[in-house]
Structure 1
Amino acid sequence: MPTNDPPLISVALSVYNGRPFLPEQLDSVLAQRGVSLEIVAVDDGSADGSLAVLEDYARRDPRVRFHPNPHNLGPTRSFERAMALCRGEFLAPCDQDDVWLPDKLAVLHAAIGGHDLAYCDSEYIDGDGRCAGRRISDDLQMLEGDQPLRFVMHNSVSGHAMLLRRSLFEQVRPLPTALYYDWTLAMFAAARAGVVYVDRPLVRFRRHGQAFSSLGKAAGQATRRSDRYRRWIGDRQALLGVLAASRFDTDGRARRLAEALTAAVDGEGCGGLLRGIWHERAALAQHEAAWRVALRLQLRLLRKLHRARLEARTA
């Protein structure tokens, strides 16, 4: 018999020493309007009393279930376990230190349509909950669509802001631990039924010194340029490798680009990478970072060859 009841949305919460912010976040999730809700929380070995907070909420509200991890699994495996324990058709990853607006889940569910993933903008707050007057969209180009290579080169989809179909998660797990889980899910969502963006800040996203993601780090905690460059290349190599090994790379585009990037990094020349980027220019539209890195690798190779020639002359 048909029913008008909203589908169950499962909130997958991973907790690690989050007691200072956890009650406010749980209250904001439990206050979601217009959805059927469950919260599945896993505690990843907290030592600050976070588990007691989860036990208290589970005792007072049957929508909350908690599961201590057998040992510390790390962020990606912990989120993956939380999502695997969920029962809903739709999954909403949840950080321990943010605040959700009351209509967040209802708006994302209305927006997802036939896509695999919907996500929203977020407003920055500091460790004390004060608004910073900026959004994530002020710092990132917010992507959507069905071009996975665009999401390889640049990711704007944060786990705290997303709603995804369980069928996507089940198809692509296990998630690679070397990568942010939300980036991997966004890439595969684009490869499958696509990603849609909601241009509304439905999360108050906390930035502080103990945040796990680089986006959540407090302002001023910058990394060295050389470290960012190496991380940029390493992340793309890993993502391209994961995509190339999946069922979604049917035409070998990710494999060819992965091989060209590895050859450039290994000093075998950047011609293949430059040709690959040009060939994929439609998919990589507006991602000038790919060109900059390719040219930087080419310059590094030329310098290496120049030093070798100088050494040969003086030998």
Structure 2
Amino acid sequence: MSTYNGARYLREQIDSVLAQEGVDLELVCVDDGSSDDTPAILAEYAARDPRVSWSANPRNLGPTASFERAMSLCRGEFIAPCDQDDYCEPGKLRTLLAAIGDADLAYCDSRYMDGDGRDLGCRVSGHMRMLEGRRPVEFLFGNSVSGHASLVRRSLFEQARPFPEGVYHDWWLALCAAGRNGVRYVPEPLVRFRRHCDAYSPMGHKHKGMGKRCESANWLKMRGTLAQAYAARDFRDADVAARLHADLSRALDGGTSAPLLTTLWSQRAAAPHWSGRPGLDALRLWTRFAKKLRRARAVA
């Protein structure tokens, strides 16, 4: 768990982790420079429960690097990233451990709740297709894997290090898992995922705070960064990622978009399954890229 000014919800989340059924666990917490009561709460739990340990980062690292450090301090064969403001159902870890098999990552669905813990009546799966399998290009186009819902194999974590800057750690781990031994999905909602204005995760926010042009630039930049980082690692389809990064960079720099269109079409089987017809879905994916390119160029 990486924490930062999370005192309001922290006790509830720690209690839910320590109440996990059917597994042996340790809870490793890293604080990223909190100015509230978070360090005191972590120290309190560590003093009374030997399963809990905590340390403070020497400086504020940001969420991705802080999670990487926290995961590096874990000792088990499996690691489950955990947000400070959610609630884990008692069978979460046991269910994910049973589901992972020979895959590198297993994840579950989540139910949304508001800042006061009220159920919002919807799940993460209600607004996106939940990806699984061994096709990393799918995870370059989009991601449905949330860190708070995941269980990852230590060997995957070690190969994925260091995490690239400017990307979400859960998306990066899912992409790398798809390029190794695959991702498994459990449709059961095993986490109550809190939505509130102070959440770091985009899915955790109740509103968006940027214009369409900036959002488009960030959308493209994130995929370009992921593709570049993935292409530099020894994972399956690294050559496709390298080509996608090169074509996207050329298009963002004002060059022709034709090579990007060709690459997207060649990977049409990995396009998001909006209609279930690969050709049509690939055209819709290209339309999305083209629209965001136009907006991003307007920002530049």
TM over 0.5: yes
Task: Return the alpha-carbon distance in structure 1 between the equivalents of residues 213 and 136 of structure 2.
Answer: 26
State which structure, 1 or 2, has the greater radius of gyration over its C-alpha atoms: 1
**C-alpha displacement of 1:250:** 5.8
**Superimposed CA distance per residue, residues 135-178 of structure 1 (whole angstroms, 9 cap, x where no aligned partner):** 11111111001111100111010110000000000111010121
Asked if 1 retains the 8 angstrom alpha-carbon contact of 2:196 and 2:205, the reply is yes
Task: Return the alpha-carbon distance in structure 2 between the equivalents of residues 28 and 157 of structure 1.
Answer: 21
Alignment of 1:39-58 (within 5 A): 39-58=27-46
Which amino acid counterpart does residue 153 of structure 1 have in structure 2? F
The two structures, once aligned, show a CA RMSD in angstroms of 2.0
Task: Return the alpha-carbon distance in structure 2 between the equivalents of residues 164 and 56 of structure 1.
Answer: 28
Task: Return the alpha-carbon distance in structure 1 between the equivalents of residues 241 and 172 of structure 2.
Answer: 14
The partner residue of 2:230 within 243, 256, 271 is 243
Which amino acid counterpart does residue 167 of structure 1 have in structure 2? S
Which amino acid counterpart does residue 240 of structure 1 have in structure 2? A
Cross-structure match for 1:256: 243
Cross-structure match for 1:80: 68
Alignment of 1:197-212 (within 5 A): 197-212=185-200
Indicate the SS of the match to 1:252: helix
The partner residue of 1:278 within 257, 260, 265 is 265
Cross-structure match for 2:287: 292
Task: Return the alpha-carbon distance in structure 1 between the equivalents of residues 29 and 253 of structure 2.
Answer: 43
Indicate the SS of the match to 2:122: strand
The partner residue of 2:56 within 68, 87, 94 is 68
Cross-structure match for 1:7: none
Gaps of 5+ in 2: 275-280
The 3 A distance-change label for structure 1 pair 294 and 88 is same
- Asked whether 1:101 is paired with 2:89, we answer yes
Asked if 2 retains the 8 angstrom alpha-carbon contact of 1:44 and 1:72, the reply is yes
Task: Return the alpha-carbon distance in structure 1 between the equivalents of residues 12 and 183 of structure 2.
Answer: 29
Which amino acid counterpart does residue 239 of structure 2 have in structure 1? G
Which amino acid counterpart does residue 139 of structure 2 have in structure 1? F
Indicate the SS of the match to 2:204: coil
Indicate the SS of the match to 1:209: coil
With 24-33 and 263-272 compared, the bigger mean Cα shift is at 263-272
Task: Return the alpha-carbon distance in structure 1 between the equivalents of residues 95 and 19 of structure 2.
Answer: 14
- Asked whether 1:188 is paired with 2:176, we answer yes
Alignment of 1:56-205 (within 5 A): 56-205=44-193
Indicate the SS of the match to 2:202: coil
Indicate the SS of the match to 2:233: coil
Task: Return the alpha-carbon distance in structure 2 between the equivalents of residues 125 and 44 of structure 1.
Answer: 25
List, as ranges, runs of 4+ consecutive aligned residues in structure 1 with deviation greater than 4 Å: 297-301
Q: How many residues align?
A: 290
Cross-structure match for 1:234: 221
Identity %: 52
Cross-structure match for 2:24: 36
**C-alpha displacement of 1:78:** 0.7
**Superimposed CA distance per residue, residues 257-282 of structure 1 (whole angstroms, 9 cap, x where no aligned partner):** 21111122222211111111111111
Task: Return the alpha-carbon distance in structure 2 between the equivalents of residues 184 and 278 of structure 1.
Answer: 23
TM-score w.r.t. structure 1 length? Answer: 0.88
Indicate the SS of the match to 2:184: strand
**C-alpha displacement of 1:185:** 0.4
TM-score w.r.t. structure 2 length? Answer: 0.92
Which amino acid counterpart does residue 14 of structure 1 have in structure 2? S
Indicate the SS of the match to 1:93: coil
Cross-structure match for 2:278: none
Which amino acid counterpart does residue 99 of structure 2 have in structure 1? A
Task: Return the alpha-carbon distance in structure 1 between the equivalents of residues 205 and 294 of structure 2.
Answer: 32
**C-alpha displacement of 1:251:** 6.2
Which amino acid counterpart does residue 284 of structure 1 have in structure 2? A
Task: Return the alpha-carbon distance in structure 2 between the equivalents of residues 121 and 251 of structure 1.
Answer: 28
